[in-house]
Amino acid sequence: MAIKVLVVDDSSFFRRRMSEIINADPRLTVVGNATNGKEACELVKVLQPDVITMDIEMPVMDGITAVREIMKIAPTPILMFSSLTQAGAKATLDALDAGALDFLPKKFEDIARNRDEAVDLLQKRVAELAGKRFYLRRNNGASSAIKPVSTPSVRATVAMMPNVATTTNTRISTVATSTSRAVTGAVITPKIPLRFRASGKKYQLVAIGTSTGGPVALQQILTQLPANFPYPILLVQHMPMSFTPAFAVRLNNLCRIEVKEAQDGDILRAGVAYLAPGGQQMMVDGRAPNARLRIIDSGERMNYKPCVDVTFGSAAKVFNDRVLSIVLTGMGADGRDGARMLKANGSTVWAQDEESCVVYGMPQAVAKAGISSHDLPLDRIAECILIELGLS
């Protein structure tokens, strides 16, 4: 069955253009059009779309208000379209806070190098977001489990189940993992307690890479870190050039740590998170612990601007085994090669787990390659960072 898409925009030209592109993909079909947010809310109840494409500026009810309303009445994956302006950036970030899962520039020339590439990207984004209604509902509820990559066998799991005593320790977080086994066609998932213990490694840097779903994920993690966080943090979020200044300001206003858009020559300081500027690459230069940042042009051949692999790779060369790195939700495989370099030098690599990802692409690439030591649910990552660094 084709993925049902609702197109919401006050421009008849853009609605027609979007419908043609979406219907050209055999996986997708446009089931309705709305000219404003109020119409969208009404049609969502009737049409029950799998994905919604949403404009921000519309009469009667704007896109941000519509997102909030839809998340109340029928949580549905929403792809926002916005202008690449400072005002457009702020509005898009507000829409993501309201519950939208992803965004794209409204002008196709800002999406990719040519029309065919832009059309392909748009169709892939819509298809990728389909089926995320369960994600939206689940993430309004309880937290998921922290899963070490080496999952215990079913026999070991069953043997351990009688010993479910709780242990209190300021350096231990009691969490759960699961192992599945098939019994007469059914899947049984017993839960057992595991203790997330600090590895005892020494660190000098934290590095985080992400893409689709990343703005909300980064906000959730960084707002839980204390003002006296003892290490610098590098943030690489796939985002247009005009968006990263507004995103850095937003994070800085919400967090106890300082967050800034990285500038060429910045000396890495403890308790400061440096956001890679959109459209450029952020590299670490010098010697640890007194390293500094280099911000360089990407060139036409780079697919990601900024690129997680570039930042992670340069951090591996400067900080060797002293990096705690995390790959969060995102489409594609950016971060895998850089994480591989970090692990080869003895650094720690974690990945966000599938259940809490908007798009399980980048973390999956790291996990499948055997690079990550833990798959972590989003709502426990900050806690695990503090435990690993000896701050909790």
Q: pLDDT, tens digit, for every residue of 143-181?
A: 444 555 543 333 232 233 333 333 333 333 333 333 333
The answer for residues whose C-beta is within 8 angstroms of residue 266's C-beta and 6 or more apart is 260, 274, 292, 293
Residues 73-108: pLDDT tens digits? 999 999 999 887 778 899 999 999 999 999 998 876
Radius of gyration of the chain (CA): 22
Give residue 362's identity as a one-letter amino acid code: M
Residues 336-352: pLDDT tens digits? 999 999 999 999 999 99
Q: By mean pLDDT, which of 117-131, 198-212, 255-269, 277-291 is the weakest?
A: 117-131
- Average pLDDT, stretch 41-62? 96
- Average pLDDT, stretch 218-228? 97
- Average pLDDT, stretch 208-222? 97
Known catalytic membership, residue 238: yes
Ranges of beta strands (E only) in the chain are 3-8, 28-34, 51-55, 78-82, 102-105, 147-148, 172-178, 181-183, 186-188, 191-197, 205-210, 233-237, 258-261, 272-275, 280-285, 292-297, 323-327, 348-352, 374-376
The reported pLDDT for the residue numbered 116 is 85
The reported pLDDT for the residue numbered 322 is 98
Residues 275-317: pLDDT tens digits? 999 999 999 999 988 899 999 997 777 889 999 999 999 999 9
Residue ranges of domains in the chain, CATH in brackets: 3-138 (3.40.50.2300), 147-197 (no CATH), 205-388 (3.40.50.180)
Ranges of beta strands (E only) in 91-242 are 102-105, 147-148, 172-178, 181-183, 186-188, 191-197, 205-210, 233-237
Find the catalytic residue in 82, 144, 173, 211: 211
**Count of helices and strands (H, E) across the chain:** 13, 19
- Average pLDDT, stretch 134-148? 53
The reported pLDDT for the residue numbered 302 is 82
The reported pLDDT for the residue numbered 178 is 33
- Residue 193 above 90 pLDDT? no
The reported pLDDT for the residue numbered 289 is 85
Cross-strand pairs, 188: 181
Residues 4-36: pLDDT tens digits? 999 999 999 999 999 999 999 999 999 999 999
Known catalytic membership, residue 374: no
Find the catalytic residue in 144, 238, 266, 372: 238
Cross-strand pairs, 297: 280
Write down the mean pLDDT value for the chain.
85
pLDDT interval class at 264 (50, 70, 90): very high
- Residue 126 above 90 pLDDT? yes
- Residue 44 above 60 pLDDT? yes
- Average pLDDT, stretch 39-45? 97
Find the catalytic residue in 55, 334, 337, 353: 334
The reported pLDDT for the residue numbered 103 is 93
The tally of CA atoms less than 13 A away on the side-chain side of residue 120 is: 6
